[in-house]
Amino acid sequence: MVLGWARLIFKLSPTNSNISHCQRTLLKLIAVLVVAIISGCDIGRLILTADPWDPPPEPAAAQEPLPREACTHVVEERQPLFGDLHLHTSLSMDANSLGTRTLPDDAYAFATGTPIALYGGAPGAESKTIQIDRPLDFAAVTDHAEWMAEVSLCTTPGSRSYDSTGCAIYRGEQDSLLAKALGAKGFRARIGGLIEIGGRRDDVCGENQAACRKELGNVWQSVQASAERWYDRSSDCSFTTFNAWEYSRSPQSTKIHRNIILRNEIVPELPISALETPAEMDMRRQLLEQCNESGSGCEAIAIPHNPNLSNGQLFRAEYVELPLARQREEAELRARLEPVVEMMQIKGESECRNGMYQVLGGNDELCEFEKIRDFGQPELSDCAEGQSKGAQAGKGCTSRTDYVRYALIDGLREKKRLGINPYQFGLIGSTDSHTAAPGAVSEYEQPYKYGTTVDQTLTVAERPRAVAFQNPGGLAGVWAEENTRNAIFDALKRRETFATSGPRIAPRFFGGWHIPGDICATPNLAKAGYQHGVPMGGVLNAKPKQDARPRFVVAANADPGTTGAPGHPLQRIQIIKGWVGSDGAFHQSVIDVAGNANNGATVDPLSCEAEGDGFATLCGVWEDSEFDPRQDAVYYARVVENPSCRWSTRMCLSLPEDQRPDGCDHPRIPKVIQERAWTAPIWFDSSH
């Protein structure tokens, strides 16, 4: 209703040619402030929204998927495949504004082993050639759906909008009154060239936004063409691509984003953006209408990312004000369309955090891994059961559900209330590279978030988001029979997935009532695991006998690395159990099940030389001796490497001592880390 009143005021704003665009914008800004003050509405939401496309986008057209040859390499018990399902190119507004010039074809070329050139932010800067250490098995370009059309129009000389005022503002050639009024700086100031209060800019998008709609369709088709060019449909099955985009809603610098991944080449006419659809429940409904329930053969999933920057909003019961039947419907839809969550990327790890509201079970020493959320603040406030905004700017409170461990437990609590668990998800990692460099996760190299970071060093100074604070990101892992779209998409849907902080660690995790105690000694652990239990992502819902307890087996292989960038041995494997207590508190228990936390393994931060023993493979079996058949529970495994040098430490050591920047001795930047992998959970459901 508030948006409707605001838009009515916008439409009544003067359009007389004697009134300048700046004057009209100022009048509209005043209207926004009046509406926002009266209603208490989020000003950012009023500005960063647009009228729905008119006419509405067409759903995917019914067709048969394109044929492909049968794979010569098929593994019945499934094989580990590594990929990246979160990356951006110059088609994304933020990447383009910050110096990135690479395109989807460059991203897929990089993923398959071809070197690509990155250019820095300074005019005339020399390029830097980068190359992945090992090709990926799969990747998806997920450029932001928002402003994709405007970026194309404003950066293509000769386009119908190129010489418009809005495009000049976007390119940094003019100042924006809106940006000044809101105090926006840097690339955020350029947004004023792409959108004005209450909608997209007419001088860029044309009457009824027709030019932007047409251009969005053109860009979306080019993205699909790139994915098709690089998808290996031969019997080699060497590389898989997915059609995809990112839905990027960021109310007041809070991340509530999803990467939309499509099963095949059957796709909706246009990607769904947060400009036209600023509510996640509406986005999921549109996915059903335009894809999954269109009868076309189209199928999509949505992958939430960066819960660590969501101020408690990513895993909130957004449907809580609806009637109970509708709440159940929305919870079931979320669980169905969002089967996995990205819990590790360049902007930090989102597994767990010590000391959060009503989380019992003691401190977990491994929870302090790559936490970017702090931004140097002296103290973080806890949201308790609430939410706030501003995480990307280092503002607002931090919620326990900003971390996937506690979101998983919160799903158990919602199941008690609704009978449905909306947060029954698997785990993946990815990079969120904005340089078209999927899988560039080596700690032997500097991570490059944007093109402008090519010119940056380890200098921190007063920059809370300096390059030195970032990590290279993670990888998405799946267990699939073959390297094809269908097989990988099916693995994502059934949650047979794992996340890594970068290394190609391959963990397996099975649970059941009849897992053999000597399963680690069997010649085919996977076959026995499927026979006697369920894999990661599965649910134990068969009622056990009175004295039965679930037993779990977890195994992992270390990443061997490469000759130039060797991997590191494994130290230990842990199983983490979570449940909701009778007191309503969130309970956690961390159990070592294989390896040795006291193996004496160390690394010298002055030389990066490692000492101590480790393991190339590990396997352990654990039975839950405190199992309560009346209590729902969630279990997942964490595989931990021996200590190794962080990428920033290696870079500092490569510089003469008198030339090392302040980031080399900054107290917030660890010199040594322990890389890791996480399996998707296995749930016990007491109601079946």
Residue-wise pLDDT for 633-655, tens only, equals 999 999 999 999 999 999 999 99
Query: What pLDDT is recorded for position 11?
Result: 45
Query: What pLDDT is recorded for position 2?
Result: 43
Phi and psi, residue 228, nearest 5°: -70, -40
- Answer yes or no: are the C-beta atoms of 596 and 475 closer than 8 Å: no
d(CA 88, CA 142): 6
Query: What pLDDT is recorded for position 373?
Result: 59
Phi and psi, residue 280, nearest 5°: -65, -35
Query: What pLDDT is recorded for position 5?
Result: 44
State the DSSP H helix or E strand holding residue 450, giving kind and residue range, or none if neither. Answer: none
Contacts of 136 (CB under 8 A, 6+ apart): 82, 83, 84, 111, 112, 239, 438, 439, 475
Query: What pLDDT is recorded for position 457?
Result: 76
pTM of the model: 0.93
Query: What pLDDT is recorded for position 186?
Result: 66
Amino acid at 613: D
d(CA 555, CA 681): 14
- Answer yes or no: are the C-beta atoms of 335 and 423 closer than 8 Å: yes
State the DSSP H helix or E strand holding residue 144, giving kind and residue range, or none if neither. Answer: none
d(CA 427, CA 536): 10
All residue ranges of the chain with pLDDT < 70 are 1-48, 120-125, 178-187, 197-198, 373-379, 451-455
Q: Which residues in 308-339 are b (16+ Cβ under 10 Å) and which e?
A: bbbbbbbbbbbbeeeeeeebbebbebbbebbb
Beta bridge partners of 477: 82, 498
Burial bucket for residue 610 (CB in 10 Å: 0-12, 13-18, 19+): middle
